[in-house]
Amino acid sequence: MASVLVPVLYVVLLFGSLAIFGRYYRKRLASKAIEPYFPRHLERDVYVTLLQKQDPPTPDQLLKAALVRRAMTDVTRILRIREDKPALQNLLQKGSIGDELWNSLLAAEKELEAEIMEVHAEANTFVEGWGQIIFATASEMLANEKTRGVFEQIPQARHDIEVKFSKKSKHRIAAPIMPAPATPAAPKTPNAPPTPSTAASTNGLAPPPSAGAESVVSSDGEGPSTPATPRTPGKSAKKLKKRK
């Protein structure tokens, strides 16, 4: 009998201690302050301050502008929660983040729901039915501000690009220019010995007469003639012999 009671008592003590520890741990987490997921809502504080001002009272146009600015901040927070919640849920399932961040997100979501209801009610106090379209107006104003910010950054971006490319061009100009490799000169061939005709022409002298071409003056003294060739006895000599 005693052998049966010992394991049962051990199991009861084990589960009892686990239950007491779990209850104490949950109470400690509940009493612990949760770190806010978003920073302080300054636009809401500005609107409340302007609404409570009575000497002199704040004009309605200024109150409406402050309320629209408050709604714009709420829209940005709504978009942020829509983007972060699925990612944080996946990370929580994988054990990459702790429960504190997830609880902070859930608390911010509940606070934002109450904020949306309050803005809706405040908008209806100015104009009936304005609460249904105030967040659409805030979304359009946010898109307009984003587009205007992009256009305002164009001159600065253009200036940065010009400075960047001017630095690159200066760097290219300042780079030393390497001389082209010199091609080897062709070897000089020895000159051929000049011929007599070329030597005479270079000295400005007429070419000397050849040995076999002597000029003969004709009997009439008109000029040189061709050299006389030795005569062969022909028919005229034979005739003379016959006459004799």
pLDDT at 100 over 90: no
- Tokens 């309605």 belong to which residue? 60
Lowest mean pLDDT among 129-133, 149-153, 220-224: 220-224
pLDDT in tens, 8-52: 888 888 888 888 888 877 777 666 667 889 999 999 999 999 999
pTM higher than the cut 0.85: no
Tokens for 176, please give them: 């030393």
In the chain, where are the structural domains located? 21-134
Question: From its phi and psi, is residue 204 left (phi > 0), alpha (psi between -120 and 50) or beta?
Answer: left
Residue 105 and residue 41 in contact, taking contact as beta carbons nearer than 8 Å: no
pLDDT at 225 over 80: no
Mean pLDDT, the chain, whole residue set: 76
pLDDT at residue 134 in the model? 94
pLDDT at residue 99 in the model? 83
pLDDT at residue 32 in the model? 63
| Residue predicted with more confidence, 4 or 129 | 129
In this structure, what is the dihedral angle of CA atoms 83, 86, 87, 93, given to the nearest 10 degrees? 160
Cβ count near 108 (within 10 Å)? 19
- CA atoms of 20 and 17, how far apart (whole Å): 5
pLDDT in tens, 42-99: 999 999 999 998 888 899 999 999 999 999 999 999 999 999 999 999 998 998 888 8
The candidate with the shortest Cα–Cα distance to 126, out of 174, 185, 61, 52, is: 61
pLDDT at residue 46 in the model? 94
pLDDT at residue 209 in the model? 45
For residue 154, the one-letter residue type is I
pLDDT at residue 189 in the model? 53
pLDDT at 210 over 60: no
- CA atoms of 83 and 75, how far apart (whole Å): 13
pLDDT in tens, 169-193: 766 655 555 555 555 555 555 554 5
State the DSSP code for 1.
Answer: -
Residue 43 and residue 73 in contact, taking contact as beta carbons nearer than 8 Å: yes
pLDDT at residue 85 in the model? 94
Distance of CA 130 to the CA centre of its chain: 45
pLDDT at residue 1 in the model? 55
pLDDT average, residue stretch 202-220: 42
pLDDT at residue 123 in the model? 94
